[in-house]
């Protein structure tokens, strides 16, 4: 299992303070791979949460606040077989690059969202991290953005406009771009995403039509009820947003496995729930998900549930 030493972190700090130009050099020298694995699937570990102020995992409001702990968890995850890549904002990805953890991985640059949770401007969700051009210039492989659509909030209009521009720019650069759409609404002072099948289908239809070309557009959608009908709503390559398997592991893993077998589903993107599993065993949690993505069999589902039950015994 890969390990990061105190000396590795010291070197990281020293480069950031005294040789920042090395960040680009390291990215330029990164060994790259094809986007999809040999089986046509993709398993991505997500770590773009801190940049939008989302540091909580379950009941721990500051679980992701310790950057060194997060990097150690990410390096462990990226070292596991079947993990194809990582999704993050520039700060996370550049730390990982300097730690040598991105070679041979698919690297997804998060464009991030400026509509921070609880802000008065939350639905004016302009992009505040990577642009498509910056992702291309950094030698990364994929762009990702979140587009929440609240029909009763005027902030949705500039969000859709900014998303369309980002999709058009990515297409012109021949850069795959992952759109994560939701139909959202204000409830009791907070934005809540509608996870019904009909709402997910509507969000997919809106997202797929954004931009001057959909040639490089992918979708990233939650696993909800009636996924067969949901996936009949698009021809775009689709990645699944996994839920939290710790509360209902048998049900969650079974839903993942069923959805992964549907036409058009290319893989899974999971973040906090695998990086911060209840028992702290990152490697095992990641191995379970990787097995579901790249094996795609009933045996993998059984192994997943057996492993989780054993770790919680």
**How many whole angstroms separate alpha carbon 309 and alpha carbon 115?**
38
Q: Which two tokens stand for residue 265?
A: 């589903």
Pure H helices in 144-231: 156-172, 197-208, 227-231
Q: Which two tokens stand for residue 36?
A: 């999809």
**How many whole angstroms separate alpha carbon 279 and alpha carbon 308?**
9
Q: Which domain holds residue 12?
A: 6-311
Q: pLDDT value at position 219?
A: 98
pLDDT tens digits, 231-283? 999 999 999 997 666 666 677 888 899 999 999 999 999 988 889 888 889 99
On whether residue 265 sits in a domain, the answer given is yes
Q: pLDDT value at position 182?
A: 96
Pure H helices in 145-196: 156-172
258 closest CA partner among 228, 234, 285: 228
Q: pLDDT value at position 253?
A: 82
Q: Lowest-pLDDT range, 15-29, 61-75, 116-130, 165-179?
A: 116-130
**How many whole angstroms separate alpha carbon 49 and alpha carbon 112?**
9
pLDDT exceeds 60 at position 311: no
119, 125, 165, 243, 252 from 157: Cα distances, Å = 17, 10, 13, 28, 34
pLDDT tens digits, 26-36? 999 999 999 99
On whether residue 1 sits in a domain, the answer given is no
The whole-chain average pLDDT of the chain stands at: 89
117, 139, 195, 272 from 54: Cα distances, Å = 8, 27, 20, 10
Work out the average pLDDT over 170-186. 96
Domain count within the chain: 1
Q: Which two tokens stand for residue 23?
A: 């960040």
On whether residue 244 sits in a domain, the answer given is yes
pTM exceeds cut of 0.85? yes
Q: Are 270 and 244 in contact (CB under 8 A)?
A: no
Q: pLDDT value at position 28?
A: 95
pLDDT exceeds 80 at position 115: no
Work out the average pLDDT over 203-216. 98
Q: How many CA atoms lie within 13 A of 35 on its CB side?
A: 16
Domain CATH for 298: 3.20.20.70
Q: pLDDT value at position 250?
A: 72
On whether residue 118 sits in a domain, the answer given is yes
Q: Which two tokens stand for residue 291?
A: 């097995």
Q: pLDDT value at position 247?
A: 65
On whether residue 142 sits in a domain, the answer given is yes
Per DSSP, the three-state class of 203 is: helix
Classify the C-alpha dihedral 58-62-65-71 as positive or negative. negative
């Amino acid at each position: 299992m890969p390990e990061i030493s105190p000396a590795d972190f010291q070197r990281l700090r020293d480069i950031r303070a005294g040789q920042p130009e090395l960040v680009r050099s390291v990215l330029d020298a990164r060994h790259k791979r094809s986007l999809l694995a040999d089986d046509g699937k993709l398993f991505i570990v997500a770590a773009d949460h801190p940049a939008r102020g989302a540091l909580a995992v379950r009941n721990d409001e500051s679980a992701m606040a310790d950057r060194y702990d997060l990097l150690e968890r990410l390096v462990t995850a990226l070292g596991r077989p079947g993990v194809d890549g990582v999704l993050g904002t520039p700060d996370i990805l550049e730390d990982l690059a300097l730690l040598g953890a991105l070679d041979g991985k698919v690297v997804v640059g998060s464009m991030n969202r400026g509509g921070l949770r609880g802000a008065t401007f939350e639905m004016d969700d302009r992009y505040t991290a990577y642009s498509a051009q910056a992702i291309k210039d950094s030698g990364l492989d994929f762009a990702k953005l979140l587009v929440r659509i609240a029909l009763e909030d005027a902030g949705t209009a500039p969000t859709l406009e900014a998303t369309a521009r980002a999709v058009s720019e990515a297409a012109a650069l021949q850069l795959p771009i992952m759109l994560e759409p939701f139909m959202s609404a204000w409830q009791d002072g907070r934005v809540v995403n509608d996870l019904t099948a009909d709402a997910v289908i509507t969000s997919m239809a809106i997202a797929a039509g954004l931009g001057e070309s959909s040639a490089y557009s992918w979708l990233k959608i939650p696993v909800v009820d009636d996924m067969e009908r949901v996936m009949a709503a698009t021809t775009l390559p689709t990645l699944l947003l996994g839920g939290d398997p710790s509360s209902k592991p048998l049900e969650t893993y079974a839903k993942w496995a069923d959805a992964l077998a549907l036409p058009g589903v290319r893989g899974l993107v999971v973040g906090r729930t695998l990086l911060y599993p209840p028992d702290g065993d990152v490697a095992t949690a990641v191995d379970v998900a990787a097995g579901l993505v790249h094996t795609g069999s009933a045996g993998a589902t059984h192994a997943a549930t057996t492993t989780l039950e054993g770790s919680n015994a």
